[in-house]
């Protein structure tokens, strides 16, 4: 169901605000209550993160940067990558009929962390052999560092770009 779509099961305008679910509540049909629409004032519902798309990608939620649907690969990229290698890997990835993959922004990485249980398959150990246990973001701190996020606790760090870390491409 597209973002902001009123539910088809009754007239949502007849509901009092006291009977509306809390924002973020998963509904019986699998959608998530997103609050009242800024345009219509009616309750709106969005698709839940973690839905598998016909092309094999996974719906990660709405990008905080673009307000558009964000999709991720169903699994981490194989191996670990320096920051530059991560950028090159995602740029060259062709999966599910798409060639517009990229490293997530820092806020998109946070969205993946927030929805990690629904998306699935993330390294949540906080460590890896020969790697940091973090996931790369596209945001540089300097010529030698970039932001990354650990998925066992959500901690953000800006390790050196030459450090090996995990990667999950988005589009």
Q: What is the pLDDT of residues 28-45, one digit of tens each?
A: 887 778 888 888 989 888
Greatest mean pLDDT range, 30-39, 45-54, 111-120, 123-132: 111-120
Average pLDDT over residues 45-57: 86
Residue 75 near residue 31 (C-beta atoms within 8 A) = no
| CA–CA distance, 93 with 98 (Å, rounded to integer) | 8
**Residue 106 bridge partners (DSSP):** none
Q: Which residue has the higher pLDDT, 108 or 23?
A: 108
Indicate the domain borders of the chain. Answer: 12-47, 58-157
Q: Which residue has the higher pLDDT, 115 or 35?
A: 115
What percentage of the chain has pLDDT greater than the value 90? 57
């Amino acid at each position: 169901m597209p973002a902001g779509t009123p539910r088809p099961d009754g007239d949502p305008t007849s509901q009092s605000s006291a009977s509306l679910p809390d924002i973020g509540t998963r509904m019986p049909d699998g959608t998530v209550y997103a609050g009242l629409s800024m345009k219509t004032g009616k309750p709106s519902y969005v698709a839940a993160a973690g839905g598998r798309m016909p092309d094999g990608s996974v719906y990660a939620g709405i990008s905080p940067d673009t307000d558009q649907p964000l999709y991720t690969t169903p699994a981490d990229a194989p191996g670990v990558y320096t920051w530059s290698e991560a950028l090159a890997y995602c740029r060259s990835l062709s999966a599910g009929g798409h060639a517009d993959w990229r490293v997530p922004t820092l806020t998109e990485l946070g969205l993946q962390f927030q929805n990690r249980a629904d998306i699935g398959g993330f390294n949540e150990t906080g460590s890896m052999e020969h790697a940091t246990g973090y996931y790369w973001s596209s945001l540089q701190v300097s010529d030698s560092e970039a932001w990354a996020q650990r998925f066992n606790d959500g901690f953000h760090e800006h390790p050196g770009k030459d450090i090996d870390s995990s990667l999950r491409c988005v589009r």
